[in-house]
């Protein structure tokens, strides 16, 4: 039996006025926020899908449907904590995450250490296990037009029991 597995996640949400912007569990000052059923934290959602995929446990929408009143307005940090507990039921724990957030604005580099610390705290791991990078799409596509933000995440998990 394989003791290590990889997972990949992707998420995208539309930027709209009248919503707070949360990325990696951190509230970022910006004129627009992400539209979604929960707080729409694309980075956390991509990480959740990567973790669930690595453990062969379907996806975030399966466990936290956007049609449920229970998940309406939910803090994505709560979702992430529950996902870490879910993969643990199959004996898996996080080895590392490598994630990329695609956003034209706001500039995310100043916020990355806070995101790493927040995510590590939620997942019960060391911040060094959480790599976050930021990029733009050079003004191309919906991201370049500042209509939305997307995130990609890959993870490695290890079976510990």
What is the per-residue pLDDT across 67-77, written as a single tens digit (0 to 9) for each? 999 989 999 99
- The pLDDT, as a whole number, for residue 161 is 82
Which CATH class name applies to 4-159? alpha beta
160 annotated as a binding-site residue? no
142 annotated as a binding-site residue? yes
59 annotated as a binding-site residue? yes
61 annotated as a binding-site residue? yes
In the chain, where the domains are located: 4-159
Three-state secondary structure of 15-71: EEECCCEEECCEEECCCEEECCCCCCCHHHHHHHHHHHHHCCCCCHHHHCCCCCHHH
Average pLDDT, the chain: 96
12 annotated as a binding-site residue? yes
150 annotated as a binding-site residue? no
**The pLDDT of residue 155 is above 90:** yes
Q: pLDDT tens for residues 1-30?
A: 569 999 999 999 999 999 999 999 999 999
60 annotated as a binding-site residue? yes
83: its two tokens = 């996902």
145 annotated as a binding-site residue? yes
Report how far residue 137's alpha carbon sits from residue 129's, in angstroms, rounded to the nearest whole number. 26
Q: pLDDT tens for residues 108-153?
A: 999 999 999 999 999 999 999 999 999 999 999 999 999 999 999 9
37 annotated as a binding-site residue? yes
- The pLDDT, as a whole number, for residue 1 is 56
DSSP for 131-157, please give it.
EEEEE--TT-HHHHTTSEEEEEEEEEE
Average pLDDT over residues 90-114: 97
11 annotated as a binding-site residue? yes
138 annotated as a binding-site residue? yes
Question: Structure pTM?
Answer: 0.97
């Amino acid at each position: 039996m394989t003791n290590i597995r990889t997972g990949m996640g992707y998420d995208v949400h539309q930027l709209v006025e009248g919503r707070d912007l949360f990325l990696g569990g951190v509230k970022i000052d910006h004129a627009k926020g992400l539209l979604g059923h929960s707080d729409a934290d694309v980075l956390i959602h991509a990480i959740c899908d990567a973790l669930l995929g690595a453990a062969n446990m379907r996806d975030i929408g399966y466990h936290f449907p956007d049609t449920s009143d229970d998940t309406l307005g939910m803090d994505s940090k709560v979702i992430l904590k529950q996902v870490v507990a879910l993969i643990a039921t199959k004996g898996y724990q996080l080895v590392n995450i490598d994630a990329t957030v695609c956003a034209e604005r706001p500039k995310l580099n100043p916020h990355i250490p806070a995101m790493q610390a927040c995510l590590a705290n939620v997942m019960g791991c060391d911040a060094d296990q959480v790599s976050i990078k930021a990029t733009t799409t050079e003004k191309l596509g919906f991201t370049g037009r500042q209509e939305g933000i997307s995130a990609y995440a890959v993870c490695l998990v290890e079976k510990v029991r």
